[in-house]
Amino acid sequence: MKTYPRSERVSSKIREQISNLLMRDVKDPRIKNITITDVKMNNDLKKARIYYCLAGDESHKHNAKMGLKSAMGFIKREMANRLDLRYMPELQFLFDESFDTGSRIDQLFEKISYATQDQ
């Protein structure tokens, strides 16, 4: 049986807890439709990069970023209570561009498919 590094186990726990926290406890409407896609931890567990995505245009993304910034104190306090860690890691929320990139690639494949069907 393969053992996983502690940073991966803590990342998984943080992802689960933040998802639950955003869905149930944070009342800010700017961040209601956010999906946490991944959490990457440093090996020393001092920093957590939390990747999120949401549907919408640039204004939705900007509003979500501002909502997360506004709720950061509440999120950190709640996470400190929920996690059994000696030190609460520094949280950094980053927009996950991979879903937008995947959509653009799908659109390009559709254009190619339509172009080859017309010939």
pLDDT tens by residue, 7-39: 888 999 999 999 999 999 998 999 888 999 999
E-assigned strand segments in the chain: 35-41, 47-53, 90-95
CB 48 within 8 A of CB 92: yes
Class of 6-118 in CATH: alpha beta
Residue 56 backbone class (left: φ over 0; alpha: ψ -120 to 50; beta: rest)? left
Residues 75, 48: contact at Cβ < 8 Å? no
The whole-model pTM stands at 0.80
**pLDDT above 60 for 106:** yes
Domain ranges of the chain: 6-118
pLDDT in tens, 56-97: 888 998 999 999 999 999 999 999 998 888 888 999 999 988
